[in-house]
Structure 1
Amino acid sequence: MKKITMVFIAAMVLLLGVNVVPQKSFAAVDFSGGLLDKLKAAQGLNTVIIRTQLTDNDETTSISLSADGSSDFNHLIRVPLVRVDVASITGYRLKAATGVQLEFCDHTGKVISTISNPDVNGNLSAVSNLNGVAYVQIHNVQSTARDVFEINLYGTLDHNTPSDLVAIKGENKVTLSWKEDVASYMKFRVKRATESGGPYITLAEDLTSKSYIDTQVTEGKTYYYVITSYYLDRESLPSNEVKITFDTSPSVLLTLYISGGLIKEYDLSAVELRDFLDWYDAKDAGTGPAKYAFTKSWNKGPFKARTEYVIFDKILTFDVDEYDPVQ
């Protein structure tokens, strides 16, 4: 199979737009301010050598590309994706020997556009309709080696970070939804923590929809959620963080009207109220104990614990008044 000589550079850093204001450097032409600043390249297949010469803004450093069809494997140089962003390219600068071509690739490595005779003198050259670019390849199409000194791309990143995460608390669940403004090949991870900022654990991954329901929740806990998108082993920055609290403080006032005119009131959580109603309904159906125990957390005094019992057939009626607890 015919081997090709190419340089892979991932257009994947957090620098936006075109910045061509000259800065102090070793370059006769300033290459900085682009999407490839300081990215590391990996040259070779069997023995990988890390290279930085093409993106260091120094024209005194270079990489030699072997002849097209050579068998030494040093004709390949590649920069791994550091994020999962892709870019819309508006221009490039290239300093190299003549006889190389630029090939722009998507996240799969497929060539989506080729410039057969690029400007190799370091001039800022405009391009159009170049979207979804993840790599640029410098391909030596000649029968002899060619030197490449510098390259940079300019444009804007198309961020693949999920946005506008919203959480809605339900009964023993949290429903999450977010904007699906990422590339179609991306999948999502749902992450949760018990402290703001993490550390997060992954609740779910391999998601393709823009919503998720978390049922692994506990009363009395506060949870913090973020969403990330990923492709293969490359993951985006997290979305905005959202917070949900499952509060066990009293949220209902239960008033029991007892035969003989006695009135009893109890501050209960939603869980405690549900337990009482379950007992009452079961006893009304003829099953369960005749009395129900309320653990008194108030006015305990010197006692280790205080329990108050009510008798089923003494309860005439009862009221349940819900309220928002004071935070």
Structure 2
Amino acid sequence: MKKIIQLLFSTLFLTLLFIQSVAFAEEVNLTPAMTSNTSPSGTVSASSVYYASDYAAWYAFDKRTGAPAPWIAKEATGWIRYDFGSSKSIVTRYEVTSKDHEAYTSQSPKSWVLEGSDNGISWDVLDTQTNVSNWARREKRSFKIPNITDYKMYQVRVTQTFGGVVSVEEIGLYGGIAAAAPSTPTNLKATAGDSSVKLNWTANTEINIGGYNIYVDGIKLNTTPIATNSFNVTGLINGRGYGFQVSAVDKKGAESIKSVIVDGTPVSPLPANPSGLTAIAGDREVSLLWNMVSGATGYNIKRSTTVGGPYTTVANNVYTSLPYKDTALTNGTTYYYVVSAVNTGGESGNSNEVSATPVVPIPANPSGLVATAGDAEVSLSWNMVPAATGYNIKRSTTVGGPYTTVANNVYTSLSYTDTALTNGTTYYYVVSAVNAGGESGNSNEASATPQSPITSLNVIIAEEKVKIGQEFTSNIALKNAKDIYAEDFTMKYDNKLFDYVGVEEVPGYKIYNKPTDQNGELRFIVASQGKNFGITGEKTFLKLKFKAKAAGTGKVDALKCRIADTQKEFDLVEGACSEDTVTVEGVKDVNRTGEYTLLDLSIDAYYFGELASNADPSKYDANQAGDEYVKDEDLVFIANQMINNANYTPNN
């Protein structure tokens, strides 16, 4: 209940305050002296009329008493109404006059309400009176109301009398004619500032102007009129839009209609130009860094391929983190950049200009460099470096350099041979990788000492494997020789696995002794036949023939090698007399039992002189000595295998 009373008092106070702010001229009677329900203006109506000819509704608005008569309703309650028609009026006081007749005591209104409406359907209660008593005959009573609203029609609705029908002699509606309000201010302009908006408008020309009221989003800002035709609204939120209006107020407090709404959005001041812009080139990209600008909410990145622009904006309102990377660029092209700062106030000027030329990254240092010495040369190899387009080869005769580049941008393979060197001198090498981005650091250092090649006598057997009974050739050759015309050497071979068959001479070279098998060793003395057959470099000058006779791996080895040119003779070091091996694959016994017995000998004896294939190949291996016929060699081989078979013993 207390809150309701407080609310009523607050409403009354605000209403009175508003009324005081409106200036009125002298109070006037708002209705004419009516001569009918519709003349001379407006319309009078009532809920009912006791007698239309004697107690018409318009009698209550004829401004006379006693004649012709009052308005009388048929009931003890009812209403009487005045409609202003097309116009509206503000009623601030009304009068009710009791009947000029002895029946006034019972027919005078006791309780009623005054209501206003624009449509006759919905009514606003403007005043309520209850238990109004002690009426005198033809007594006029006046009631002031705090009304500030103009209505098209007003009515008195009687809710209670003193027992009889409703009867009213006269009703008067009064109100002040509002003084002419000032004209609405024009040309309102809003200029945005930092957390503020400056308002300017054309000053009113009326002589009684007392000032202006400022409205922000429909809410009055000032408590007293503003004296000038400009005002700075402060305390606003930057970036938020506001609607501004202004009205004029005269010295009596009459206020004009508010101006049209003008929008304004306060903004932060423009940020300063960025400074300290730097550019770092990368592989198809440029990274940008700059000093942060106070108050900036973002940055615009601008690029050109020409000094000084024109620039194209490649990124707007960037503010994720620094640096900013401009990607998908063309390596080798120079790009020019500026940066501007932005906030709600707008965009700053450009920063200093910087440029950068993106390039592929410098390759990594090569690794795994290996140097191998040769005759007056060194061969180099190393591991591949991704993104390298070539390699620089550098050489020194001192550990750690300094190095001289001996080959640039090598990329035929991951190897290089450095030639025309001095045998016996140690060379030190490093390798660097190169591409469009530049040159890497040096690889590990590798060294090698080229040497003159050692002359060697080589034994070369083409076959790796042979079968029992199969012949094979051992080629005898000199390598790294120079003008050699005679050779003296011994050949040792595994006579348990091979039989020496003989020699095949090479044209231009002749054996001048008659070597015979000496328990696995043969000595050969060979000479060239003329200066055209002197051996320089590598040359095969003799071919020895052997025949496999038993399974196993055996070798043919050169020993005691001596050579001679026309000036002197040379003994080759032990390592320069080489050897070679061959594997003799064994055969299965004839009947494939896993060991040689008298039965194997008997089967081959049965097929003696015939093709070995006449014995059923799916059951027998009759070919034991490597010939397609079964001969004595096959039977001898079987007999020897029987003798060597420890599991086979004769009949005891």
If the TM-score is normalised by the length of the shorter chain, which range does it land in?
A: 0.3 to 0.5
Q: TM-score, normalised by structure 1?
A: 0.40
TM-score, L = length of structure 2: 0.23
* Larger radius of gyration between Structure 1 and Structure 2: 2
